[in-house]
Amino acid sequence: MVNRFPFASPTRLLIAFVAIGLAGSATQSQDKAAGASQPPESQPASKPNPDSEWLARASKLYYSSKKAGLTGFDCDVHPDWHTLFVSANKGDAIAEDDPRIVLLKTVKITIHARMKGGSTIDWVASNPDQPLDKSYADMLDGMHQAVQQSLGGFMQFWTPFVDGTAVPDSTEGLDIMHTATVHTLHAKQGDTEVTEILSSDQVLEQFNVNLNGNSVKFSPMFKPTAQGLLVNRFVAHILPAGTPPEQTQEMTVDIDYQPVGGFMIPSQLNMAVINSGEFNFAFDGCITNP
């Protein structure tokens, strides 16, 4: 008989992972708005725009997978199932050899990450001699969905921060305001609104998205590399449309990197939703797609 898995907690976790993917969609909308407003090549050259020069300088401070030539990567993925179960059970004792964890470790998981979208996850379960008990089968299906939503959501919100989209090198489609202490970028198209706040030294401190009433507010952090600032941590506050402010979800994401084929890609991903659970992944056996 399988011990009851507390699906309520992982469900709250999944809601956060799905909602956080809104940032990627909003950034894509921002790009489309910018592209639509670019003048045709036949127009005479305009006078230099101080904001364009300022933004071009700011953009160069950041690592850009796009400029480096990375189009995607493929990795084997190893979830930390034990940590997920313990965190979802509010710290209750869960044995490392719990039958559910043993079963989940037999699943082979591969991510086919694509920087322009369309990332996919392979989930290949073992084939036991006898059909699984329904509770085990349901648990596998639930964890399959959890991995799919978690890694898919991560790719959506992580990509703009490493491909150069979050801090673009063009002012097209943007309203920019400067003060002595911060620089604010704002873009709006239809029901999508993006507000970015950079410090006086051009470090991105806030990336706030509102999409059809769904609010996601990021506080990204960066580490210096030879190729520029590389995002290695997010604190996100997520508020689905129609939800009272006191039900805002807080999520933290920490990313360790590994050099593969001359590119920087994730080696370890730790995702935690406050009061809900923690989902960690290790990536190995990676190849990059230049």
Q: Domain residues of the chain, as ranges?
A: 10-34+50-289
Mean pLDDT to the nearest integer, 180-203: 94
Determine contact, residues 145/8, Cβ cutoff 8 Å: no
Question: What is the C-alpha separation between 270 and 259, in angstroms, rounded?
Answer: 18
β-pair partners for 272: 252, 278
**Band of residue 92 on the pLDDT scale cut at 50, 70, 90:** confident
DSSP annotation of 274: T
Question: What is the C-alpha separation between 17 and 12, in angstroms, rounded?
Answer: 9
Task: Please determine, for residue 3, whether its predicted confidence score (pLDDT) is greater than 50.
Answer: no
Determine contact, residues 119/113, Cβ cutoff 8 Å: yes
Mean pLDDT to the nearest integer, 177-189: 94
Task: Please determine, for residue 261, whether its predicted confidence score (pLDDT) is greater than 70.
Answer: yes
Mean pLDDT to the nearest integer, 209-222: 92
Q: What is the pLDDT of residue 45?
A: 53
Task: Please determine, for residue 24, whether its predicted confidence score (pLDDT) is greater than 60.
Answer: no
Q: What is the pLDDT of residue 37?
A: 34
> Whole-number mean pLDDT of the chain?
84
Mean pLDDT to the nearest integer, 111-134: 88
Determine contact, residues 142/10, Cβ cutoff 8 Å: yes
**Band of residue 90 on the pLDDT scale cut at 50, 70, 90:** confident
Task: Please determine, for residue 20, whether its predicted confidence score (pLDDT) is greater than 80.
Answer: no
- The pTM of this model reads 0.84
Mean pLDDT to the nearest integer, 228-241: 93
